[in-house]
Chain A
């Protein structure tokens, strides 16, 4: 109701801004509706076993569990690898580097954050798969572990630079207040700066998760593309939702239930990312209280 009254009082330019906002909201809604509508046939046909089934045999059954597990494992691994590196790097860049050097580091990070996934994918195929295979003495280097590691490298610049922004935006007054009490620079960083920038860091990690969850081509090149639930072994080939979509979307277009099953996978990814983002916002809200 309040929002309605706000909109009524808008100036003419404000209406244009409001319209742009509705374009964005409209796109998000259209995407959701499209995915739901396209997924209905497979959900009617398979029911809950679409999400719980382990077998994906085109024309017989469509079980998405291997892809759901794969996506969660690969993203979890990426976050596990990236968090300590990104947080330490962000703290060092924000709190210890002189301003001129900090700007240079930030420039490089922002450049790396914009590098397309295919470039990372090619690097992964060329070096990472072979490196993992040789280092761990595996038959095949295309594993969940390799995909998680590659995703970590991919999202590191994004998480690092956004976390650094969050740390750097903490008012200088707080640092001075802490240092005037005899706290060292490290104590100030850990006890004052880090807790205050936590919402921003969570936002950075969420963005990283979003990119990791949705990355198609780089993961497709190194994950092995085998539809199976991996159990506790991370050093086997597998499949993620985007890599499955990337492999089969072109051939499934217009093929009935196969296409609907892929749309069902898209809807699942959409929901998982939405749940993670929502949980992150709840966490930020709690932090702010």
Chain B
């Protein structure tokens, strides 16, 4: 459960999000849409405190994730980020092997003999295992963009987050990879609470249980009825022929 109480995000004098009070239920997908520069990404990054280092960034009010007050002064930011994983717009794999990338966030905490099982588990979760199981030692940079994005998602899942923040994760991908990531989000919903930022209204409507619009600092629910995923045009057209 994610709970906002009078939550506001600002850069200096400019309020990106104003006085937000609402809750997001567990194991759901929330789509966040809005025009370029409306503050979608800033809002998302604020939930795992990725904006902390920006000079004039400030927040007001509070946001609770699974009971943890994100902006309490004594909050362990690193523990928070393990609980609230983030997938960025552009896939950013480390110049290491696929195997090393998958367990990058937990390598120091995980005994060596448990690593292969975790790698297999998270790569299966993102439907990448069959494609890479024979070349886990190869550099991750040899994968396609879509595969790299799924690998970054696997890397995030390996840390064991409860919340997944996905910042336009399909914007740099081809339609086939986009469909794969959308399908992936649906499959992850049963175990994670997902916030998905996108520019595309139809994508938000097709994958999300709830769509929020950010406009002029206001966050409001989208009133248009949500189209079930199987009826979404991009989803059905592209998914046909994609391996199960």
Contacts and interface: CB of A to CB of B under 8 A. Distances in A.
A181 B104 contact: yes
Contact of B88 (A176, A182, A192): A176
Interface residues of A, number: 17
Given A181-B81, A181-B104, A182-B79, A173 B95 contact: no
Nearest to B155: A181
A160 B118 CA distance: 39
A187 B79 CA distance: 14
A181 B105 contact: yes
A180 B50 contact: yes
A104 to B, nearest CB: 17
B185 to A, nearest CB: 18
Interface residues of B, number: 20
Interface in B84-127: 85-86, 88, 90, 92, 94-95, 104-105, 108
Interface in A33-69: none
A70 to B, nearest CB: 40
Given A176-B50, A196-B95, A181 B159 contact: yes
B197 to A, nearest CB: 14
- Mostly, the B contact residues are loop
B48 interface: yes
Contacts of B95: 195-196
Interface of B: 48, 50, 78-79, 81-82, 85-86, 88, 90, 92, 94-95, 104-105, 108, 152, 155-156, 159
Given A171-B92, A182-B78, 14 more contacts: A173-B92, A178-B104, A180-B50, A180-B81, A180-B85, A180-B86, A180-B156, A181-B85, A181-B105, A182-B81, A182-B82, A187-B108, A191-B104, A195-B95
16 contacts: A173-B88, A174-B92, A174-B94, A177-B94, A177-B152, A178-B94, A179-B81, A180-B81, A181-B82, A181-B155, A181-B156, A182-B79, A182-B159, A183-B105, A184-B78, A191-B104
